[in-house]
């Protein structure tokens, strides 16, 4: 038998700073992985933390880490060439086939852009595979913006709306919450359009309600309950909501199910 808790060593190939507390670590990895899945990133004697995949490359995965606790504080003490430990990937992730050939709206709040970055990057790089791509990304301030350089590239083939709660400095973004900008988006057929919504629980709740009110079908909306991820294999019980284990059945859920996952 194999030990499901046993991690494997992974070399840090690159570290990119986004904000004072958010860096992307490109970790050596070969294997199948999907956007929206996550790895347990660990350091002996410090513990482990579930981190969503924010990028998928030929021989590596990107993990965007926020410095918010004991484990992540220590992760930030490691640099290119150092080794961390990982296990995974876990969760179901986003299935790109759900969005191919359709109008796709991605709404992300703050670090919620990390797990959907792979989806946006794929369809922005392959615009012929969808019937239009719109990204609405909201952050507290311009200094909190993630993947700013990527957004500049995505704008070449997609409609990118970058918004902040409050403005500071001279940045090319708009003011207001994401829900203030969604009604202004023009869809060819909103009843057949598909949407992904990821961010803080309240943001996802009200954004999904707004999309349904505007004409989206509930079955055409997906959300990610990544805040509830924990051990990854459904053993600790931390992620259990009703009859669902978020680490196993999710973290990505169709809204017809996700709307009932009240934590």
Question: What is the radius of gyration, based on Cα positions, of the chain?
Answer: 18
CA-based nearest residue to 166, from 136, 127, 140: 140
- Sheet of 174-175: strand order equals 174-175, 159-164, 133-139, 104-109, 194-198, 221-224, 252-254
Q: Which whole number is the average pLDDT over 49-70?
A: 93
Among the ranges given (27-36, 171-180, 218-227), the one the predictor scored with the smallest mean pLDDT: 171-180
How high is the mean pLDDT of the chain?
92
Q: Give the pLDDT band (50/70/90) at residue 227.
A: confident
CA distances from 209 to 27, 77, 102, 109, 255 (A): 37, 41, 21, 15, 10
Q: Which residue, 57, 181, 185, 38, is CA-closest to 116?
A: 38
pLDDT attached to residue 234: 84
pLDDT of residue 167: 66
161-210 tens-digit pLDDT: 999 987 666 566 778 899 999 999 999 999 999 999 999 999 999 999 99
- Rounded mean pLDDT of 220-228? 91
What CA–CA distance (Å, rounded) separates 253 from 93? 9
* Whole-prediction pTM: 0.93
Q: What angle do CA 85, 96, 140 make, to 5 degrees?
A: 65
Which contiguous run of DSSP H or E holds residue 237? none
With beta carbons less than 8 A apart as the criterion, state whether 193 and 91 touch.
Answer: no
Supply the pLDDT for residue 226: 84
| Position 97 pLDDT exceeds 70 | yes
Is the predicted pLDDT of residue 2 greater than 80, yes or no?
Answer: no
Q: pLDDT for 123-136, tens place per residue? A: 999 999 999 999 99
Instruction: Please give the full DSSP string across 142-167, using - where no structure is assigned.
Output: GGG--SHHHHHHHTTTSEEEEEESS-
Q: Coil, strand, or helix at residue 121?
A: helix
């Amino acid at each position: 038998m194999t030990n499901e808790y046993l991690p494997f060593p992974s070399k840090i190939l690159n570290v990119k700073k986004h904000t004072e507390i958010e860096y992307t670590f490109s970790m050596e990895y070969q294997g199948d992985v999907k956007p929206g899945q996550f790895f347990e990133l660990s350091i002996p004697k410090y513990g482990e933390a579930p981190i969503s995949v924010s990028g998928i490359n030929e021989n590596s995965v990107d993990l965007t880490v926020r410095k918010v606790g004991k484990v992540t504080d220590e992760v930030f003490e490691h640099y290119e060439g150092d080794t961390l430990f990982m296990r995974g990937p876990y969760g179901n992730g986003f299935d790109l086939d759900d969005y191919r050939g359709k109008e796709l709206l991605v709404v992300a709040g703050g670090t919620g852009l990390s797990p959907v970055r792979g989806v946006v990057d794929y369809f922005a790089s392959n615009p012929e595979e969808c019937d239009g791509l719109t990204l609405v990304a909201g952050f507290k301030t311009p200094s909190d913006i993630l993947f700013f350089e990527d957004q500049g590239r995505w704008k070449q083939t997609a409609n990118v709306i970058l918004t902040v709660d409050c403005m500071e400095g001279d940045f090319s973004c708009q003011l207001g919450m994401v829900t203030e900008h969604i009604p202004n988006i023009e869809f060819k057929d909103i009843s057949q359009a598909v949407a992904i919504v990821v961010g803080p629980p309240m943001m996802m709740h009200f954004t999904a309600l707004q999309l349904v009110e505007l004409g989206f079908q509930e079955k055409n909306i997906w959300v990610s309950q990544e805040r509830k991820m924990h051990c990854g294999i459904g053993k600790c019980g931390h992620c259990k909501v009703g009859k669902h284990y978020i680490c196993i059945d999710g973290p990505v859920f169709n809204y017809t199910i996700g709307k009932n996952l009240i934590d």
